[in-house]
Structure 1
Amino acid sequence: MTKILISIVGPTAIGKTALSIKLANFFNTEIISADSRQFYQEMQIGTAAPTPTELAAATHHFIKHISVDNYYNVGDFEKDAISLLQELYKKHDVVIMVGGSGLYVNAVTKGLDELPKVDHEIRETLNDRLQKDGLEALQFQLKELDLKAYNTIAIDNPQRVIRALEVCLSSGKPYTSFLTSEDKKRNFKTITVGLTADRPIIYDRINRRVDLMMDDGLMEEVEGLLPKKSLNALKTVGYKELFNVLENQWDLEFAIQEIKKNSRRFAKRQLTWFKKNEETIWFDYETDIELIINTINNKINTL
């Protein structure tokens, strides 16, 4: 039988984790997380990582497997995920992958372009500039060095901006000059399933999730990470806003509204990214699981 990867995508708070567990149980298989924020052991509440009950319902991989102190990029994930899939396909014909980090999903399904080796000192310098001068200064530098990258990458994501800049500065060439449209050959077929809803519903689910995170102790989680706030892993929605509260720059209510606003913006970017894949099979978030399973099985039979 052809080996199958069922990739579940969609905006944050739409219900991807719940669907992945149902599919893993139906296909008697395991789950790979492609949510780059859920890799970190210290970031449970703010990343909406699977709960102990959810983790017990199906075998998960790449959930809280590293520390925020570790440098772990999308290239590392591609290598680790493909290696794991080779092992999983020895005992399963189908594996589930779930996550809203589009670049990490593509790294597994399509592969990454080969980028030049980066000078570690350049990366450190850029991180220092981010702290001293802010993201806007780095965005301006990228615009000067690689306008195409400036117009196409997630420009408000510090890690993406730094990644593009460090390639430009290390190689002396535009970051986008190393990008190709060729996909790497994989020994499995991918079926991509997308969950979505009308935008007001998505935004309402996000707002309610943020409130639940606060009730569950997000502030205490962030407070414990304050000494490490300069780490790349912590420059993410839900953490950076509350760091401002802890440093007396913002009041709590304003920070919560900013988390909701930035999460909604993130969801909009996710949808834009995932809609580019014309092969994605989209379902409303309330679609009955039997219909989704039947659709997937019909697709498997055509591969």
Structure 2
Amino acid sequence: MTDVDRTEREWRLVREESLPGPLCMALDVVAAETAADGGPRTVRVYRWQPSTLSLGYHQRPEDIDWAFCEREGITVTRRPTGGGAIYHDEHGDISYSIIAPAAELPGDLMASYERLCQPLLDGCAAMGVAADFAHESADALHEPACYLRDIHPAHDIIYEGGKLSGNAQYRRRDSVIQHGSLTYHATPERTRACFTDPDVSLDRITDRITAIDEHSDVSRGEAVRALEDALQKWADAEVGTWTDQELERAEEIATEKFGAKAWNRTGEDPIA
């Protein structure tokens, strides 16, 4: 059972879906609207397909090698959460979100991260990887990249000194979205290539990050199921799906906002 109050509240688990980057982010927004309107709270797992570079809310466009991303077929979208950009490899990344009304989650940010990251830690443990929050800070290697920024004990998950997962929260007036990225297989070369003039060597990147498949024999499918099971147990959730109305709304938001050049290049919200 979780510390989050779930009395007479419905939670649903949406199992892993393979989705374009803008739709991944739009579904988080729709799930937040649903929860705020009294509908089910959502825990979900998803794959970014095609591979996607998600930018932090305040990301500078000049940080990104747009030509490389276009040439390699890497979608670029901007998250509503802060932090640095993350390269979500469609084979190497496993992502999750937890969405609930703000009133049902801790107001203190540190306490909130501690509670909402618990199923991530439980899922990693089930994979045979005893990950934990970082116990001390570490200086940034390349500030524009999430996994190469300074290590923060509040929300960075590490294993044997390497960053395994980055997590962020977006607190709307009436709801909270926490989403995060868990590295199943590391791709340091492609991560580095997504940025303009990264002043960090591949060796230093390899030392900073780690991945599930470096420490466990579980397949990617088994890792996904372990995370889904941990989220489901944590929230006492029933397996569920999106409604037709939610999908229609998400497609609209994906097109008008998360797939829009104004949002992705400058952070200007076209539907605010």
Q: With structure 1 as the length reference, what TM-score do the two structures score?
A: 0.25
Structure with bigger strand share is 2
Structure with bigger helix share is 1
